[in-house]
Amino acid sequence: MSTLRAAWHIAVKDIAIEWRTKTAFASGLVFAVLVLAVLFFSRDPTEVSSLAIAPGALWVTFTFAAMLGLNRAFLLEREMRAMDGILLTPAPRAAIFWGKFGANLAFVGAIEAISLPLFVLFYNVPIWPRLTELLLVIAMATVAFVAVGTLLSAMVVRTRYAELMLPLLLLPFLVPPLVGGVQLTASLLDGRHLSDISGWLKLIGAFDVASVTLAAVLFQVVLDE
């Protein structure tokens, strides 16, 4: 079985399980809405406009919601030692990473796709003129979140404190895409041209390449029995 095919099957399996219950998706989404709403009140409305905190609110929401989803990816495989079952199939090891990566990308992307319009609604942000650029930035940062997160969640699931360990290990590594995402979003909402802020774009792009490569390679080490 080719790696790509096997990866596709693993991703489809994860998405199908999620599709039947929608538990993680629903809770991730409600969580995202809650964070967006709570952060709205984290300012003095007479002094700071909602637009000023909007980029930060958006990215904090994305980060927290992604973390919830990433934790789920391997907790799923812990039940009844399902991971051993996957390891026993003839699927190449690399396929497990790419399959999980794909499913996580779909999960986090779906939560972001629904939170973004809510963000526009809540914060009254004029994103439409810069929508394509903003979507590009979100996609780039999400790839980094999911790459590092998939690798780390495969590790923390082996500990008793998976829910606690993932944010602890993940957040320091997410500083580049998170800060870059906030800066780029702020500049875009400010009406600045992308060429003014190409430094941040290059940084996230390079981080994407480094983190995806690293995660794919190191994932084999994590699976080693």
Partner 1 sequence: MTLRDRATRIARAGTVVTAVALLGVAGVYVRALAFTPVEVAQGEAQKIFYIHVPAAWAGLMAFFITGLLSILYLWLKDQRIDIAAAASAEVGVAFSVVILTTGPIWGKPIWGAWWTWDARLTFTLFTFLLFVGYLVLRGVLTDPGIRGRFSAVIGIMALVLVPFVHLTVYLFRTQHPAPIVLKPSRPSLPSEMLITLLTSVGVFTVLYVGFLMLRYALGLLREAREQELANDS
Residue 154's contacts (CB-CB under 8 Å, 6 or more residues apart) are 73, 74, 100, 219, 222, 223
Which span (12-20, 43-51, 64-72, 153-161) binds partner 1, by CB under 8 A?
Answer: 153-161
Cα 78–96–179 angle (5° rounding)? 90
Q: Does 214 bind partner 1 (CB under 8 A)?
A: yes
CB of 159 to partner 1, least distance (A): 4
Is residue 28 exposed (0-12), middle (13-18) or buried (19+ Cβ within 10 Å)?
Answer: buried
At 194, list the tokens: 């992308």
Which lies closer to partner 1 via its Cβ, residue 41 or residue 161? 161
Is residue 188 exposed (0-12), middle (13-18) or buried (19+ Cβ within 10 Å)?
Answer: buried
Q: Does 149 bind partner 1 (CB under 8 A)?
A: no
Q: Does 210 bind partner 1 (CB under 8 A)?
A: yes
Which lies closer to partner 1 via its Cβ, residue 37 or residue 168? 168
Yes or no: say if 97 and 219 are a contact pair by the CB < 8 Å rule: yes
Which span (62-70, 92-100, 185-193, 197-205) binds partner 1, by CB under 8 A?
Answer: 197-205
Q: Does 180 bind partner 1 (CB under 8 A)?
A: yes
Q: Which of 148, 188, 189, 212 binds partner 1 (CB under 8 A)?
A: 148
Q: Which of 36, 83, 156, 201 binds partner 1 (CB under 8 A)?
A: 156
Yes or no: say if 119 and 57 are a contact pair by the CB < 8 Å rule: yes
Give CA–CA dist 212/144, Å, rounded.
7
* Residue ranges in contact with partner 1 by CB under 8 A: 148, 151, 155-156, 158-161, 165, 168-169, 171-173, 175-176, 179-180, 183, 199-200, 203, 206-207, 210-211, 214, 218, 221-222, 224
